[in-house]
Amino acid sequence: MIADYTEAPVCHIDDLIDGELKEVRVGDTDILLVRADGQYYALHPKCSHYQGPLVKGLLNGHRLVCPWHNACFDVRDGHRLEAPALNGLPTHEVRIEGDQVFVRLTTDKESLENPMSAPDEANPETYVIVGSGGAGAFAAEGMREGGFTGKIVMLTESSEGPYDRPNCSKDYLQGKAPDEWMALRTDEFYKDYGIEVRTGQHATALDPVMKRIELASGETITYDKALLCSGGKPNMLPGVASDLNGVYALRSLHDSHTLRKLGQQGKRVVIIGSSFIGLEGAMSLRKLGSEVDVVGLENTPFEKILGEKIGHVVQGWHEKEGIRFHLGRQVDHLEGDDTVSAVILDNGERLSADFVLLGLGVKPRTDFLKGIALEKDGGVKTDAYLNVADDLYAAGDIAHYPTSSGLQRIEHWKVAGQQGHIAGLNMAGKETPYLLVPFFWSNQQGKRINYIGHATKVDDIIYEGDPEKDDAFLALYVQDGQIKAAAGLKRDQDIIAIRELMQEGRMPSVETVRQGVQWGKVLKID
C-alpha cells in the first residue's frame, strides 16, 4: 500500500531542549520544529505577517515570537496570539517512534485564520466600529473570535477598507509594493464573516447615552456596543498659516500614492519633522529620485526617544544617501503663489521646494464625541479592559490606558492592532485586560530598529555594543531607576526576551544589567 502523505524522521528525541527552535525539511517542505514542556511541535516556518524567519525568533513557554515585528503565536495549535499578524500558523502532526521524532505533513497552507463565529441573522445586536485602521480591523475579528454573532458595522472616512498603514511610508511609497498587497483582508473575508465595511463615512457626533452615531450624510446609526478607534489627525505646521497647494501629510494610502507620483518625478521636497515618519518618508522619496531636505527642531533626529548617539548614527545613514539635514531649526514661513515654492527657516535660510511633507505627528481624532471627557491631548481615558463608558470602548491612537506607571497613549501599529483585538474580545464578553508592553519598528535606510517599552524621559542609557562602531547594538533606557524601554539593531532575540521579561514583571535591576546580562538565559529562569 502506498502512503498518501509525506512523513520523515527529523531529529533524535534528545536533540532539542525546551525552548529550542530548529528548521527541518520533510520532503520538499521546510518545517519549524519546536520543543516546549517536553513536547515537540511542527509549524509553518515563516511568520504570517511579513514572512519573517521564525527560527530566528524566541520561544517563551508556548509563545513563539517573530524576530521582525514581534507577532506572537501559540505553538500548540498555531493560533495567532498578538498583532501585527492576522493569521495563525499551520501545524503538522508529530509522533515519536523509538528515539526518533517524525513529522507528517498535514497541510500545504502558509497561514490559517483563528477560529471565528459565523454571523447569525437571528441575533439583533449591532456593534459599530468607528475607524478602519489596525485597531478596527483586529477588533472586528476579535468580536467574532469572542463568539459575537450579531451585526458588525465598520465606519471609515477612507475610500478603502483596512490596509497595511505602516507600508505607506516604506515599500509602497517606494513603488515596491503593489496595491494588491495593501489590503489586510479580501472583500470576501469581510462578507463571509458578516463584517460590513462602510467607506466614505464621516462620523460627526457620537452620543454615548443615546448610543447613537450621526454621519455627515445625515444618516443616524444606533448601536448596542461601539468601539472608538478613529485614529490620529496629522498635525499642521504650528504658527505658520498657509493655504498653499503642495503641502502634504503622510497618513493614508491616498497620501502615499500622491507622494509616490511626485517623488517619481525627481522633484525637490522639504520634509518638516525629523522623527520616524519624516525620515521614513525621506528615505523612500530619495529612493524614488527626489532631492530631499529635512528640517527638525531637535539638534539630532530621535534625540528624545533613541538618544543622541543613535540619532547621530541614523542621521549618518541618511546623509550617505544624499539627504540634507537642517536641525535645531524652525520654519518661519512658506513662499509661493498658489503652490509652495520654498521653505524659509528661522535663520533666514531658503530651501527650494516643489512640495512639502509634514512629519509632525498626529493628535487624537475625537472631535465628534459628545458628553465624553477628553484628556489634555484630546484622547480618551479607558480602564484596563479598554472600556470608556457603558458599552463604549476605545483602542489605538486615541486611547489612554492604565499601566503600572500611570496612563499611557501609544501611537504604534502593533499596539493599535492588539488593543483592537482585546477590545473586540471584551465587547463579546471575554473580560480580558490589556497588559502588553508596547512595541514598534522603523525602517531607516534598510536597517530595522525595534523598540519596546515606553519612557517619558531618559535619565541614562546603557549600551550593549557601540552604535557608532558596531553593526548590531542594544540600548536600554533608564527612567527613575528602572529600565523602561529598549531599542535594538540586529538584536532581535534580545529585544523579544526583554519585552517578555517586562510583561512578566521580571526585568533585572539597572545594576545587574550594567554588569552584563544574557537576556535569553534570564528569560528562562523561573
Would you list the domain boundaries of the chain? 7-104, 126-233+363-427, 247-360, 455-524
31: which 3 cell numbers? 518545517
* pLDDT band with cut points at 50, 70 and 90 for residue 204: very high
Helix then strand count (H, E) for the chain reads 11, 37
Structure confidence by residue, pLDDT tens digits, 79-135: 999 999 999 999 999 999 999 999 999 988 888 899 999 999 999 999 999 999 999
CATH topology for 126-233+363-427?
FAD/NAD(P)-binding domain (3.50.50)
How far apart (Å, rounded) are the C-alpha atoms in residues 197 and 162?
Answer: 9
How far apart (Å, rounded) are the C-alpha atoms in residues 492 and 495?
Answer: 5
Structure confidence by residue, pLDDT tens digits, 26-74: 999 999 999 999 999 999 999 999 999 999 999 999 999 999 999 999 9
Comparing C-alpha atoms, which of 408, 386, 449 is closest to residue 138? 386
* DSSP at 112: B
Q: Could you tell me which CATH number the domain at 455-524 has?
A: 3.30.390
**Average pLDDT of the chain, as a whole number:** 96
CATH class in words for 7-104: mainly beta
204: which 3 cell numbers? 460627526
Q: Is the pLDDT of residue 358 over 70?
A: yes
> Of all residues in the chain, what percent carry a pLDDT higher than 90?
95
Give the pLDDT confidence score for residue 526 in this predicted structure: 61
> Of all residues in the chain, what percent carry a pLDDT higher than 70?
99
How far apart (Å, rounded) are the C-alpha atoms in residues 387 and 384?
Answer: 7
Give the pLDDT confidence score for residue 375 in this predicted structure: 97
The answer to whether domain 126-233+363-427 and domain 247-360 are alike in fold is yes
How far apart (Å, rounded) are the C-alpha atoms in residues 397 and 377?
Answer: 11
pTM over 0.85: yes
Instruction: Give 135-184 as a 3 state SS string.
Output: HHHHHHHHHHHCCCCCEEEEECCCCCCCECHHHHHCHHHHCCCCHHHCEC
153: which 3 cell numbers? 458595522
Composition of the chain by helix, strand, coil, percent to 5: 20, 35, 45
* pLDDT band with cut points at 50, 70 and 90 for residue 238: confident
Looking at domain 247-360, what is its CATH homologous superfamily? FAD/NAD(P)-binding domain (3.50.50.60)
